Amino acid sequence: SSIPKIVILGAGYGGVLTSLRLQKELNYNEADVTLVNKHDYHYITTHLHMPAAGTDHPDNARVSISKLIDEFKIDFVKSTVVQIRPQDRKVILEDGTLSYDYLVIALGGESETFGIPGLAENAFTIRSINSVRLIREHIEYQFARYKREPHRTDYLTFVIGGAGFTGIEFVGELADRIPDLCRQFDVDPSLVKVINIEAAPTALPGFDPELVEYAMNVLQKKGITFRIGTAIKECTPDGVIVGEGEEIKAQTVIWTGGVRGNRLIEEAGFETMRGRVKVDELLRAPGHENVFVLGDNSLMINPEGRPYPPTAQMAMQQGVNCAHNLVAAIRNQSPKPFAFSNKGTVASLGKGEAIGIAFGKKYKGRVAAWLKKLIDLRYLFIIGGIPLVLRKGKFL
C-alpha cells in the first residue's frame, strides 16, 4: 500500500506544533507530510502589538520556517491556499494542487467586522507581519503630515476599536511609543490623542475586574482615553461614528474588535459558526474523519457551555494532540481525546507593566511583565530550542 499523505495548511501556532510533533514521532517512510504556508516565515502573533506600535522591529516577531522544521522529514511549500475540496481530498493552491489522505486546517483567523460599514475599507488590523508594518509606517507618516498641516489635529488622533486583549496590549505599546515620536517630529505631546473605544460595559469583558481596573489605571496614566460602553457604528476615511451618531475625527483607526475563522473553510462547505468549525473531541470536522481543524479555525465549548476564546495556548495544545492522533491513525492505534489545560492569561500593558492570572493566582505590574517574558521565551524554546531563545529572546 502507498504511504499516507498528510497535508497541513498554515504554519501558525497550530500548524507548527503539529509539524514539529509529527517530525519527532513518525518513523522514516511512515507518512508523507507537507506543510503549506503563505510566507516562508512563521509569525509570532502574540508579539505583533509591539512592531505594530513601533516599539520593536517586525523581524523580531518572525522566524524562518526552514529554521524550525526539518526539511528532510517535512516538505515545506510556500504558497497560498485558494480552495479546500474535501469531497475530492484536494487542496488548490495559487500555483498547484495537493491531494491528501489526512488534512490539518490551521489557517488562523481573520478580522471580524460584524458587517460594520467602512471598517474593512478604512481600518487597519493587527494580524500579520505585513499588516503591522503598514500600521507602524502609517503612524509615523501622520506625525510627518501634521508638521506640514498643523491645523489637522486629526492626524494626531489614533482610534483603537475594541478593548479586548489585542486592543489593550496595543494601546500599552502605543503609549510608550508616542513620546519618542513627539521628540522625533517636534510635536507637542498634549496634541496627541489615543482613544480606545469599547462597546461592552467594561474593558476586557469577562476578565477579573480588579485586574481590569488596574490595567485601565496604568493605561490612563500613560495618556490613553477610554470610551467604554460606546460602540463603533461606522468607519469612514475621516474617522469613526460612535454611539448615537457622534463623529470622532481620526486619520488612523485600528480595529481590534474581534476575530473569526477563515473564509476558505465555509467556502469548502464545512458547517461553521463565525467561520469556525465546531470540532469533535478528536479535533475533526463533523462528518470528516480525516480532516482536523485547529486553533482560530476551530470552535470548542468549555464545561460551562461557552466557546473557549481562540488563543495561541489553545492552538499549540491542539497541535500536539492532532499530531499524536495522526500517528495513532496511521498505526491503527486508538486516539486520545483532546482536553484543554488552561495555564492562564497574561497581557502586557507596555514596558514593565502587565496583568495576568496564572496557575490560579493574580499578578500585576513588574512581576506580571516578567511572567509575560517567560511565556514568550518558553514558546521560542518549544519551537526552536535554545538556539532560537538566544537569537530572538534578547529582544523580547
Q: Which residues lie near ligand NAD (CB under 6 A)? A: 116, 161-167, 169, 197-200, 205, 231-232, 256-259, 309-311, 345-347
Q: Which does 48 bind (CB under 5 to 8 A by kind): ligand FAD, ligand NAD, none?
A: ligand FAD
Distances in whole angstroms, Cα of residue 1 to Cα of each of 31, 90, 230, 327: 12, 20, 61, 17
**Rounded to the nearest 5 degrees, what angle is found at the Cα of 277, between the Cα atoms of 276 and 278?**
115
* CA 126 centroid distance within chain: 8
DSSP letter assigned to residue 179: H
- In the chain, helix, strand, coil percent, each to 5? 40, 25, 35
Site for ligand FAD in 97-136 (CB under 6 A): 106-108, 126
Closest separation in Å from C-beta 394 to ligand FAD = 19
Alpha carbon of residue 363 to chain centroid = 23
- The partner in contact with residue 315, picked from ligand NAD, ligand FAD, none with C-beta cut-offs of 5 to 8 angstroms by kind, is ligand FAD
Cβ-closest position to ligand NAD:
164
The alpha carbon of 64 is separated from its chain's Cα centroid by a whole number of angstroms, namely: 18
C-alpha 3/C-alpha 330 separation (Å) is: 9
Grid cell listed for 333: 492505534
Beta carbon nearer to ligand NAD, 22 or 216: 216
Considering the complex, state which of residue 15 and residue 241 has its C-beta at the smaller distance from ligand FAD.
15
Site string for ligand FAD, 17-56 (x = CB under 6 A): -------------------xxxx-----xx-xx-------
Q: Grid coordinates representing 207?
A: 476578565
Residue 382 phi, psi dihedral angles, 5° rounding:
-60, -45
Q: Report the residue number, 116 or 322, with the smaller CB distance to ligand FAD.
A: 322
Residue 10 touches which member of ligand FAD, ligand NAD, none, C-beta under 5-8 Å by kind:
ligand FAD
- Give me Rg for the CA atoms of the chain: 22
At closest approach, how far in Å is the CB of 167 from ligand NAD?
6
Nearer to ligand NAD, 22 or 163 (CB): 163
Q: What is the DSSP string of 269-292?
A: T---BTTBEE--TTSBPTT-TTEE
Shortest separation between residue 237's beta carbon and ligand NAD, angstroms: 18
CA distances to 107, 175, 296, 352 from 283, rounded to whole Å, are 15, 40, 12, 38
312 binds ligand FAD (CB under 6 A): yes
The piece of 202-210, 268-276, 294-302, 385-393 that touches ligand FAD (CB under 6 A) is 294-302
Helix residue ranges per DSSP H, 186-311: 209-221, 263-267
- β-strand partners of 363: 356
Sheet of strand 291-293: strand arrangement: 74-78, 32-37, 5-9, 102-105, 291-293
Shortest separation between residue 345's beta carbon and ligand NAD, angstroms:
5
Give least dist CB 246 to ligand NAD, A: 13
- Verify binding: residue 164, ligand FAD, rule CB under 6 A: no
Provide the annotated active-site residues: 169
**Interaction of residue 295 with ligand FAD, rule CB under 6 A:** yes
- The reply on whether position 14 binds ligand FAD by CB under 6 A is yes
Q: Which of residues 155 and 272 has its CB atom nearest to ligand FAD in the complex?
A: 272
CB of 326 to ligand FAD, least distance (A): 16
11 binds, among ligand FAD, ligand NAD, none (CB under 5 to 8 A by kind): ligand FAD
Judged on CB neighbours under 10 Å (0-12, 13-18, 19+), 274 is middle
Q: 145, exposed or middle or buried, with CB in 10 Å at 0-12, 13-18, 19+?
A: middle
| Residue 45 interacts with which of ligand NAD, ligand FAD, none, CB < 5 to 8 Å by class | ligand FAD
CB 143 to ligand NAD: min, Å: 26
Q: Which listed residue (154, 169, 173, 176) binds ligand FAD by CB under 6 A?
A: 169
Binding site for ligand FAD (CB under 6 A): 10-15, 36-39, 45-46, 48-49, 80-81, 106-108, 126, 166, 169, 295-297, 310-313, 315
